[in-house]
Copies of this chain bind each other. A is one copy, B any other.
Amino acid sequence: VSDTKDIHYEKPGVTIDTVIFTIVEDRLEVLLVKRADVPFQGSWSLPGGFILQGESLEAAVQRILLDKAGMSGSYLEQLYTFGQPDRDPRSRVITVAYLVLLPWKRTPGPLSPKVSGTEWTAVHYLPKLAFDHNQIVLYAVERLRAKAGYSNIGIGLLPDKFRLSDLQRVYEVILGHDLDKRNFRKKMHATGLLEETGEKEIIGAHRPAMLFRFKEKKVVNLD
């Protein structure tokens, strides 16, 4: 029963932490921010913050994204709530972790962090992070892998129009192993979620690739 009247113990703090993924040069990268204050001063940590009055959890995530990363996420999913009593050395803080996917912009450069003190880091070379943030990132990677197996989660990491080889690359990077081109394309077409844009894109001295788009902009479970 959610009863507020009998609180005689101190309220825990509640924060949001975000695991923001993107793909850069065939690597899965996560956005980190350098902590300005104690504890863990100077350590890297996940972008996060407190929830404002009257603000939904999702709205808080979007606000934090804009403040800390200078961008708004294309896909957003609640991950898990971490509440070990000692996870913050100062006081009890419970954090609701979110998984965020940023569309990978073809154009190189503008994906570089917009906010000073932030940096994209490959998940394979993650430093020791503040608080329990390493655990949170691992949990997020696990979730992302699992979802790659049974959903079109790749949509969150791609621009509106993309080549099938881009889509395949996204899944390969998430899963950590190569996929068969013909089987991958067969399966993707079978979902009925892809539509041709009619446009073709030429990169370098190759046969031009058809650009595709997802009919549904939402992440959806396949089969």
Contacts and interface: CB of A to CB of B under 8 A. Distances in A.
Interface of A: 1-7, 9-15, 17, 33, 35, 37, 45-57, 78, 80-81, 83-85, 88, 90-96, 130-131
A175 B220 CA distance: 21
A81 B6 CA distance: 22
B2 A17 contact: yes
Question: Number of copies of this chain in the oligomer?
Answer: 2
20 contacts: A1-B33, A1-B37, A1-B46, A1-B47, A2-B45, A4-B13, A4-B88, A4-B90, A5-B37, A11-B11, A11-B13, A11-B14, A12-B14, A12-B51, A51-B94, A53-B85, A53-B92, A54-B92, A78-B81, A94-B96
A1 B35 contact: yes
